[in-house]
A and B are shown apart, each in its own frame.
Chain A
Amino acid sequence: MHSESQIREPLILGHKTYAQITDDIIRPVEGKANKYWYMLFTVACLTFLWGLGCLSYTVGVGIGVWGSNNGVDWAWDITNFVWWIGIGHAGTLISAVLLLFRQKWRLGINRSAEAMTIFAVMCAAIFVLFHTGRVWLDYMLFPLPNQFGSLWPNFNSPLLWDVFAVSTYFTISCVFWYIGLIPDFGTIRDRAINPMVKKAYNLLAFGWGGSARHWSRFEEVSLVLAGLSTPLVFSVHSIVSFDFATSILPGWHTTIFPPYFVSGAVFSGFAMVLTLMLIVRKVYNLQAYITVKHVEYMNIVIIVTGSIVGVAYLTELFISWYGGVEFEQYAFLNRATGPYWWAYAAMMTCNVVSPQLFWFKKIRTSLVATFILSIVVNIGMWFERFVIIVPTLCRTFLPSTWNMYHPTFVDIGIFTGTIGMFFTFFLLFSRFFPVIAQAELKTILKISGESQKKEVAEHAHEPAPTHAH
């Protein structure tokens, strides 16, 4: 066991024992949901159903029920896709990258962040699958053996790279998340009284026994998966950005896109984690485990990534001017001052200006301010994708083809529907799965628990025990 500097603030507040941790975290799974949960769940479910209705309408009648048109062939669909995929980035970053960097504070939030990743990728998948004109032929995107002669997908197409990137990401994230859940399922099973519940969790726990060998394998697999998914954190959004970067459109065709997209994704992902965690800690009374320090750490990540994004925006503007390409110059001028200037302004304010507020300690440690700003950031990030897609497509090379885009109720319905779906799944997750990786969390209790830390500090004043030889 290694110890931690006293300067570091504790990550588990109050005097907690292992048993208490188990109690605190498993209780919401075992107990009955409160009325807030039911209210939220109803709202989320209804929104989800409405989204499903809009989606069925689209499939039944045609993509024409959306606002996209022959100039702006992608609009809210791909905006939402990129937005959700971006949100999905935080989970892997937290669980994989922070694991490799041995950041202990990740343990308070990684479980929920991973769940969020999976649900966000599912939401993203809805858009990428349903934005096609003939959904029923989407299988052609996959390199399946077929009877059409030697007919394979076009490996040159960034959309195909997307298919591979997103499906890989989804698979790895699911596995990683589930592996992490196994010891916790074991705990729930062991505590369960109802035989049905016991049986269900037994199934989910894959026969977890908690032996040293189990733990050893668990740690190894986690490490391997972390290694596997770390490159994914960077590759997925880079590949998503290739959809734009490899095209020929002024405003899309830029080499800055991959890093800019990745940092934007982490930026929005952390904002979403904050939004969710601030609710979760309140609703499930987990203030001891998701502390203000956690929030502050995440806010620092937001300042860093937000600033990277801001620099990227300015670099784009500079390069478009410096590059001297007529079409590109106009594309960026149009973004900032054209008919969609308000979207650009919203993006700049929300993504570049608002995270800078976190330089103030008071703000970054204020839960209310963080909650508001985390939502603002995600609004900003939605606008970023909108600004990249719609105003660019509205005004490309030939001025004769310049036009406008107006969303329909179906566009809005499906988007809010995915938000509904996201929350439905997340609320279900928080009811039936432990929202904090309690088994893993226990590993840092002795190092980062508040009372334990205090104890160590008190012992430090005593003379060091001398050992007789």
Chain B
Amino acid sequence: MGTNKKYWKGLSELNQSPEFLKHQQNEFVEDLPMTEALNGEGTTSRRDFLKVVGFTTAAAALASCETPVIKSIPYVVKPEDVTPGVANFYASTFYDGHDFAPVLVKTQEGRPIKIEANELLKKHIGGTTARTQSSVLGLYDSARLTAPYAKGSASDWKSVDAAIGKSLADAAAGGKEIAILSSTIVSPSTHSVLAEFTAKYPTTKVYHYDSVSYSALREANDKVFSKKVTSTYDFEKANKVVVSVAADFLGTWLAPAVFSTAYAKNKKVSPEKPEMVKHYQFESNLSLTGANADERYMIKPSEIGKTIVALYNEVAKATGNTGVSANASIASNPDAQKAIAKIAKELAAAKGQSLVVCGLNDTDTQVLVNGINKMLDNYDKTISYEYHLNLKKGDDKELANLIANMNSGKTGVVITYNSNPVYTAPAKTGFAAAYKKVPVKISFAQTLDETAQLADYVCPDHNWLESWGDANPVRGHYSLQQPTINPIFSQPRYQGTRQAQDTLLKWAGVKTDYLTYLQAYWQNHVYPMQAKYGDFYSFWSNTLHDGLLHVHFAKAVEPAVIEPMAKDSSGKPLMTGVAAVIADSLALKKDEKKEKAEEKKVIAAEEEKKLPDVDYNAAAAKATAAKSGTWEITVYEKVSLGNGNQSNNPWLHELPDPISKVTWDNYITMHPEDVHEQKFGEMLRQDVDGSIATLTVNGVSVELPVYPQPGQAKGTIGVALGYGRKVESYKVAKEAGIDGGANAFEFLSVTNDTIQNISSEVSIAATDKIHQFAATQIHHTIMGREEQILRETSLAQYKEDAASNNPKAFIHTNQGERPVEEVDLWAAHPRPGVKWGMVIDMNTCIGCAACVVACTAENNVPTVGKDQVRRTRDMAWLRIDRYYTSDMTRKRAEEEHIGGRRMYLDMENPSFNPKVTFQPIMCQHCNHAPCETVCPVLATNHSTEGLNQMTYNRCIGTRYCANNCPFKVRRFNWFNYQGNPDYADINPSQQDLGRMVLNPDVVVRGRGVMEKCSMCQQRLQAGKLEAKSRSAYKRRCY
């Protein structure tokens, strides 16, 4: 249908004025002087001509100066679920043989760039640690192998498979053992794959060995409950008293992410619930857990057993049980001895709401710990061996057996999977020597690590982000692992990596890929445990989406023996599983009480087997037998590096230790008084020069710098694991410590069939060498500024007055005192729309530093290396300040009439056993920020949403803002960290591969620019867009 509508451009057109009509056809309203110009009779002078020529030449010349264009290629065919600029999240499971976490993987345009906790599973086995957060960088590690290796050189899969197939067949035929040495395998389907492999090669034996062993926990449970499992600990239910003896359960022990999440809940205080868990810690190193304890007692490593025995006896007394007879005197710390009686009474008063844990890998000690928890009625309440952990199932005896077999020549082939025993096995076990004797050595390592270097064949596994997989970390919990990127190293460009399970299936002659096998396994074994989904397809896709499955406890019974799966004629595993009866499940779901009752029934049935008699006296005698020495060592895991399997990760090296705040270093921690007595560098008054000492433990000598660590038990030292890598391709690991640091695994010893991380055979000798520490914090105490900076109150005071020690701030004005928020020099900012703020519960923060790595990953924060950190140029946008208490306080100075200068000098020294406070500090986004007024070019300014924002393009780098920042959170790009060759090895953004981890939503900052916390503006923006598309857009348009 036509229309008669006419659109006019103005009134003149509407009215058809004569003026309009005159110019209607004329493009140019005023005549151009063209004719005059052409005829040469115009006014164009020589000067005008030159002007025009000059301008056009300059313009042409300028136009030819083009800035380099970096081409980005758009999708020709856009994948359905990928929108450039919009992140996708996939549920998956992180497990590297040491740490476990159900996670969400954030991907951008097909690249995993960030790990987040899977909130759905957080309660049971979740949360992420610094190492989980860092693991995404491992995917882009340049040290990764891109092809299988045979006899030390790159080869191809076909020939490697053929050669290995022959070796395996020979070994099986010759009756030689095929040993598979693995860290704990948490994947049930992998157990099944191994069963397939064993079916093909019957001489196969799987050895489980964890580099950081928890073997004693299982042995003790076996002795006390006839269950060789690792218990689960519920720190949330232990809401009255927690006693930890040398267990760093918030930082490194067993499942710190789970424990800290649960523990934090009992640290949440409100006027409605003014209750908190009381936490006692006995330890020699000042651990993250010790730093969070309410009361901390320093004991020597050799006194751990004695402490447990003393606690056992006191708890027995308080609960009316019989004690044990053994010498339980804590000679080094009489206060600890005295405290134990008090603690025992508190424990007895909190039956079923307390927990006693011990970090020593000693069976007898753990038997006593079990005994204590039993007396306290904690089983089935705060601790459970029924609802057991499937992590850390390594058995130290098995390692010894394997070494014996390798030495005797019984082992024909050894395959190492997810473990690096040449690096991690205690020196005394002689693993490396035995390993070399095995005729065929195969490693599944992703890099040419210490074990892989000695192996005949290296068949590199996929990174976990490229792999399919599953996990059963706790009884009744299943989670899935899915690839979030195509294998980076794949054919045709590379020979490529291959998932270990696929490799094993291939060698086992199973003709399916691992994904098919995994699905078959889940249909046959996991699917029947649940009743929620009626068909396997929806079960699989929903579980994959959620990343986890919580099956009914009663149904979650693991098979005693895992058999190979039945196959059809084509070799594919048959998928025969059927879902559980739906009616039953619905009934269960409706009635939680019934579920609990069912659970109890199962447990009761399992418990019917009579518990064995435990000889606690014998255990106590053995547990207290440890000899003391002049020096004693505790080898510990760092919150950052852990067991060292991520020791080529720059984020973790640059992450300051939560306690010492030292980065990029491996050192001896020693009490400052000991340091003084030994005449080592004391590092007083912000000094960073330490001494280097020669440390000999169990006959192994290394040179390490000495770090004065307040709170370290006197006469003891600590050294961290994870350093001293001897891997050519680990360029990052080499930057740490002195030439990469020393390998503390060598200090481990084997006593009573368990690997011990403590020793009394220690000697220290001075050298005349000096070492410079790179710490992000070199001043350790609050200097009497508690009232302004670190307000603290006690629970008792808080109960009386929730505002105790937290007075409102007032300002003196000519109208008298006025509240600080009413007095302002500046006019208020306009505040339309959204406003952002962030609150951190200082009471629950344990200082674990996972947030620091998360921030690094999210915001493309550059790593700058040891030298720059030493010069106070670390770039972390978010840091955690750690303060020790000092014996000198204002009050004391006043009472004892100590002058200001003396007082401040004494305040610089931490107490003998300091209390520790953590304070996360990032940009506070001040309302009228001091940085904003001083910037001469307005590069930092205030957004209408209340954020203090940086405009990098505008920043010229006067650094005035950083000077005027009261929190010192601003970070300057002193060099071009993204391009300067000095940082090429340690800064992932300088490597083709490492660059892939960068978050495309966050600008990578160049040289000479100031940066700081943006409060994750990109995430706020994403959230706003999400909210808009969900609410406004959808409501209005649909």
Interface positions of A (Cβ within 8 A of B): 61-64, 67-74, 131-134, 137-138, 140-141, 151-154, 156-160, 163, 243, 246-249, 326-327, 329-330, 333-334, 337, 339, 393, 395-404, 406
Residues of B contacting A158 with CB < 8 Å? 934
Contact B955–A134 (Cβ < 8 Å) = yes
CB distance from A181 to the nearest CB of B (A): 34
- Return the 6 tightest CB-CB contacts between A and B, nearest first: A133-B957, A133-B1008, A64-B974, A73-B959, A400-B881, A402-B779
Give the Cβ gap from A253 to chain B, nearest Cβ, in Å. 10
Chain A residues within an 8 Å CB radius of B919: 400
CA distance A339 to B873 in the complex (A): 20
CA distance A329 to B685 in the complex (A): 19
B876 to chain A, nearest CB (A): 10
CB distance from B518 to the nearest CB of A (A): 48
Instruction: From the candidates A159, A329, A402, name the one contacting B936 in the complex (CB within 8 A).
Output: A159
Minimal Cβ-Cβ distance residue in A for B959: A73
Specify which chain A residues have a CB less than 8 angstroms from the CB of B904 in the assembled complex: 330, 333-334
Of chain A, the residue at the smallest CB distance from B661 is A400
Question: Contact partner of B937 among A70, A74, A154, A393, CB < 8 A?
Answer: A154
Which residue of chain B has its CB nearest to the CB of A73? Answer: B959
CA distance in complex: A151, B937 (Å): 9
From A73, A134, A157, A163, residue with most partner B Cβ within 10 Å: A73
Known: A62-B975, A133-B972, A133-B1007. A157 touches B956 (CB 8 A): no
Q: Give chain A nearest CB distance to B792 CB in angstroms.
A: 15
Given the complex of chains A and B, what is the CA–CA distance between A329 and B783 in angstroms?
12
B957 and A140 within 8 A (CB): no
- Tell me if B964 counts as interface (CB < 8 A to partner A): yes
**Residue contact B873 to A69, C-beta cutoff 8 Å:** yes
| Known pairs A62-B980, A396-B968; A403 contacts B872 (CB<8 A) | yes
Which of B874, B955, B959, B960 is close to A68, meaning CB atoms less than 8 Å apart?
B959
Count, chain B residues at interface, CB 8 A: 60
B971 within 8 A of A: yes
Residues 947-990 (chain B) with a chain A CB within 8 angstroms: 954-960, 962-964, 966-968, 970-976, 980
B residues in contact with A326, CB < 8 Å:
784-785, 788
| Residues of chain B from 771 to 790 with CB closer than 8 A to chain A in the complex | 777-785, 788-789
Across-interface contacts of B962 in A (CB, < 8 A): 70, 73
B901 contacts A337, CB within 8 Å? yes
- CB < 8 Å neighbour of B973 from A131, A133, A141: A133
Asked whether, in the complex, the Cβ of A73 is within 8 Å of the Cβ of B972, the reply is yes
Shortest distance between the CB of B259 and any CB in chain A (Å): 27
Q: Smallest CB-CB separation from B940: which chain A residue?
A: A154
Name the contact of A133 in the complex, choosing from B777, B778, B959 (C-beta under 8 A). B959
Q: Is B175 at the interface (CB under 8 A from chain A)?
A: no
State A159–B973 Cα separation when bound (angstroms): 20
A287 to B211, CA, bound (A): 85
Q: Is the CB of A248 within 8 A of B980?
A: no
Which A residues are in CB contact (< 8 Å) with B955? 133-134
Known interface pairs A69-B873, A71-B872; A132-B958 also in contact (CB < 8 Å): yes
> Could you say which of B779, B874, B964, B973 contacts A399, with CB atoms under 8 Å apart?
B779
**Alpha-carbon distance between A327 and B788 when the two chains are bound, in angstroms:** 10
CB pair B900 A329 closer than 8 Å: yes
A-B contact pairs, 12 of them (CB 8 A): A62-B1007, A64-B873, A69-B974, A70-B872, A70-B970, A72-B872, A73-B962, A132-B957, A133-B972, A140-B937, A159-B936, A248-B966
Question: Which residues of the partner chain B approach A401 to less than 8 Å between Cβ atoms?
Answer: 777, 779, 881, 967-968
Specify which chain B residues have a CB less than 8 angstroms from the CB of A62 in the assembled complex: 973-976, 980, 1007-1008
Q: Which residues of A contact B784 (CB under 8 A)?
A: 326
Asked if B874 contacts A70 (CB within 8 A), the reply is yes
Given A337-B901, A400-B883, list of 12 further CB < 8 A pairs?
Answer: A62-B1007, A74-B959, A74-B960, A133-B959, A133-B1008, A137-B956, A154-B936, A249-B964, A339-B686, A400-B921, A402-B779, A404-B778
The residue in A64, A140, A326 that gathers the most chain B C-beta atoms within 10 A of its C-beta is: A64
The CA-CA distance from A137 to B1009 in the complex, in Å, is 11
Pairwise interchain contact A69-B959, C-beta atoms closer than 8 A = no
CA distance A327 to B966 in the complex (A): 11
Determine if B625 is an interface residue (Cβ-Cβ < 8 Å): no
B968–A71 contact, CB under 8 A? yes
Asked if A403 contacts B936 (CB within 8 A), the reply is no
Residues of B within 8 A of A400 (CB): 777, 779, 879, 881-883, 919, 921
CB distance from A126 to the nearest CB of B (A): 15
Judge whether B933 is part of the interface by a CB distance below 8 angstroms: yes
- Bound complex: CA A246 to CA B930 (Å): 10
Contact residues in B for A154 (Cβ distance below 8 Å): 933, 935-938
Residues A399 and B972 in contact, CB atoms below 8 Å apart? no
Residues of chain B from 889 to 942 with CB closer than 8 A to chain A in the complex: 900-901, 904, 919, 921, 930, 933-938
Q: How far is the CA of A64 from the CA of B973 in the complex (A)?
A: 8
**Which residues of B are interface residues toward A (Cβ below 8 A)?**
685-686, 688, 777-785, 788-789, 868, 871-874, 879, 881-883, 900-901, 904, 919, 921, 930, 933-938, 954-960, 962-964, 966-968, 970-976, 980, 1007-1010
The reply to whether A153 and B980 form a contact with Cβ atoms under 8 Å apart is: no
The residues of A that contact B980 with a CB separation of less than 8 Å are 61-62
Does the CB pair B956–A133 fall under 8 Å?
yes
CB distance from A144 to the nearest CB of B (A): 11
| Whole-angstrom CA separation of A390 from B926 in the bound complex | 25
A62 to B1007, CA, bound (A): 7
Q: List B contacts of A132 (CB < 8 A).
A: 956-958, 1008
Residues of the A chain whose Cβ atoms lie less than 8 Å from the Cβ of B974: 62-64, 68-69, 133
Chain A residues, Cβ within 8 Å of B780 = 399
Name the residue of chain A whose CB is nearest to the CB of B868.
A64
Is A70's CB under 8 angstroms from B971's CB? Answer: yes
> Given A132-B958, A339-B685, are A399 and B883 neighbors across the interface (CB < 8 Å)?
yes
Chain A residues contacting B921 (CB-CB under 8 Å) are 398, 400
In the complex, chain A residues whose CB is within 8 Å of the CB of B881 = 398, 400-401
Nearest CB of B to A160, in Å: 4
B1015 CB to nearest A CB, Å = 19
Residues of A within 8 A of B874 (CB): 70
Residue of A nearest to B905 (CB): A337
Given A153-B936, A248-B930, A403-B872, A398-B975 contact (CB < 8 Å): no
State how many angstroms separate the Cβ of B717 from the closest Cβ of chain A: 26
Taking CB atoms, residues of chain B closer than 8 Å to A64 are 868, 873, 974-975
Task: Report which residue of B930, B960, B970, B973 has the largest number of chain A beta carbons within 10 angstroms of its beta carbon.
Answer: B960
Roughly how many angstroms separate A395 CA and B935 CA in the complex, as a whole number? Answer: 22
Q: What is the minimal beta-carbon distance from B666 to any residue of chain A, in angstroms?
A: 23
Instruction: For the complex, give the distance between the alpha carbons of A72 and B960 in Å.
Output: 10
Contact of B963 among A247, A397, A404 (CB under 8 A): A247
User: Chain B residues near A330 (CB, 8 Å)?
Assistant: 783, 904
Q: Point out the residue from A70, A159, A339 that lies within 8 Å of B968, measured CB to CB.
A: A70
- In the complex, which residues of chain B have a beta carbon less than 8 angstroms from the beta carbon of A137? 956
Q: A399 touching B936 by the CB < 8 A rule?
A: no
* Cα–Cα, bound, A137→B951 (Å): 14
**Assembled-state Cα–Cα distance A313/B937 (Å):** 33
A160 contacts across to B, CB distance below 8 A: 936
Q: How far is the CA of A393 from the CA of B778 in the complex (A)?
A: 15
* Min distance, Cβ B140 to any Cβ of chain A, angstroms: 26
Q: Which residue, of A63, A140, A399, has the highest number of chain B Cβ atoms within 10 A? A: A399
Residue among A140, A163, A406 having the largest count of chain B Cβ atoms under 10 Å: A140
B342 to chain A, nearest CB (A): 34
Contact partners of B971 in chain A: CB under 8 A: 70
- Complex interface: chain A residues within 8 A of B960 (CB): 73-74, 157, 159, 243, 247
B52 CB to nearest A CB, Å:
23
> With a CB–CB cut-off of 8 A, which chain B residues contact A156?
933-934
Name the residue on A nearest B1010 (C-beta). Answer: A133
B663 to chain A, nearest CB (A): 14
A67 and B937 contact, CB distance less than 8 A: no
**B1009 cross-chain contacts in A, Cβ below 8 A:** 133-134
Expressed in whole angstroms, the Cα–Cα distance for A396 and B778 within the complex equals: 14
Min Cβ gap A89→B in Å is 23
